[in-house]
Structure 1
């Protein structure tokens, strides 16, 4: 509980431009949720307000997480503040374009049907490229921090790296298919799905394709590594109260490595599955086999991680300032 209360107190020092954007994203999420109720229009096989709702929520969560992580910086603070500001602007442009295109009833992603649509897609693509660079530099700065405890710092580093990998997957969506390039004038260039058209049969809520590969699956796993890894450390802190072995810092470090390996493995597996034009809901025996190996490897690594050290005193539970 100390870690949680520390996080709340430290919120006053979080990066303000990122938190301003997170507030804006929360407002867009609420408006889009209302739109889902009152507007029955469909776009690319899904309720038209589904994309801005999910997009704003995801970007708001991303921004709030980085706002907190910037508050942990003790080195290159000024550079980190500027990077956070660039990220806030890039995120705001992304969400604003999606919201505007939804109001117009047009696709936001991959849309080059008109000069205005092309301009909007160019803004989105450019802002994502900026966000990727900012995320990379921010991660490098994070690698140099040493003031938090080892499990927490490792979780932050691994989470940032996994997020970069997840963001990189998004670039695969922009290549476009041969069919799209053959049609002139081009109206759509790029696709979330692999082997099928966007807008076909899909999973509820997520909208991921059930008839072909979908690169949004590894993208989702990757970009939310930024939240999953720190949350895993917080969970270990809570569990340590009833499990003395988790009070050993080395045990927690090993478990963080194990969980990070699982997230990375899932990202790689789902990306490979999507590129093979295989829906998440219909894995073949090869995919199931690789998943089984990943699960078995994780269990072995977790068992190894929980081994107690000999002749080494157990450290007290995670300190309140571990993540602040």
Structure 2
């Protein structure tokens, strides 16, 4: 792996600022007792900052990999860093004002800030798409690493895209009508209002579906799949089968397919209005199929390749000669 000094500097600086912001958010949760939409008011800045640290660091490293279009990649990375910084500035500013940042059309200012934040999300997604296209063209020597990076960034794009679903009016809001004058348009939850009973830390709904689940799981494929390759490489000295690059490639293919299947499953579950922590029999059956298919794929990937009969008898021939 290349030295971190070669990583994309604006993204590194942004990640460092988000480390500071996550500390600010954590302190805010402890000392500020205000609650907004059923959660501590500083919970959103904390969660976004922590998530952006991982996202920015992964992109900063990935931008060292393209062999062509490096200048375009540097510009795309800078655009992503600026878009993320703009989004965090609006989120934090609204917390200071005691207002919702997402889906808020209560006043002209709130509506303008939300529209600006929505624009930063579009820019972030487009910038990440440019990076993904560069990575698809990059010549990465290790095939397992290449697949992990490319699969990770593509799944992350899908995960980020779920943000656009949240911006649409919910079924309840459409049924109530008056969307042009409503204070809140859009929702995380499906089938229940935002701000109801939720899981600790994540804030995901425990009574209905929640689109933040596939959004989170999908976006963090950007880190999970490359880290999976790192784990395989670290384990290779102790596990003989992992020293074979073909085995590592097969395992990465299995992991990428399993990760994509999990994203699809939690998306389907959320859109059905079902809480992550209360799956029904259909969801559990689908999860079981994913686990079974993944286990079968891992066993097949680890199975030693068959040795051709001609190769097995070759040493005997050499001894005879």
Q: TM-score, normalised by structure 1?
A: 0.92
- Structure with larger Rg: 2
Deviation at 1:196, TM superposition (A): 0.4
Question: Per-residue CA shift, 1:50-105, capped at 9, x if unaligned?
Answer: 10000011012111110111122221110000000110111101111111111111
**Stretches of structure 2 lacking an aligned partner (at least 5 in a row):** 312-321
1:55 corresponds to 2:51: no
Question: Per-residue CA shift, 1:179-231, capped at 9, x if unaligned?
Answer: 43414621111100000011000011110000000011111110000000010
Deviation at 1:148, TM superposition (A): 3.2
How far, CA to CA, are the matches of 2:113 and 2:37 in structure 1?
18
Q: TM-score, normalised by structure 2?
A: 0.93
1:267 to 263, 283, 290: 263
How far, CA to CA, are the matches of 2:168 and 2:108 in structure 1?
20
Deviation at 1:178, TM superposition (A): 4.3
Match of residue 277 from structure 1: 273
How far, CA to CA, are the matches of 1:177 and 1:144 in structure 2?
39
How far, CA to CA, are the matches of 1:39 and 1:120 in structure 2?
23
How far, CA to CA, are the matches of 1:246 and 1:309 in structure 2?
13
Which shows bigger deviation, 304-313 or 215-224? 304-313
Structure 1: 4+ residue segments shifted above 6 A: none
1:1-324 → structure 2 map (5 Å cutoff): 6=1, 10-181=3-174, 182-183=177-178, 185-311=181-307
**Stretches of structure 1 lacking an aligned partner (at least 5 in a row):** 1-5, 314-324
Match of residue 317 from structure 2: none
3-state SS in 2 of match to 1:277:
coil
3-state SS in 2 of match to 1:199:
coil
Match of residue 318 from structure 2: none
3-state SS in 2 of match to 1:101:
helix
Match of residue 315 from structure 2: none
Question: Per-residue CA shift, 1:240-295, capped at 9, x if unaligned?
Answer: 11111111111111100111111111100000001101101111111111110110
3-state SS in 2 of match to 1:116:
helix
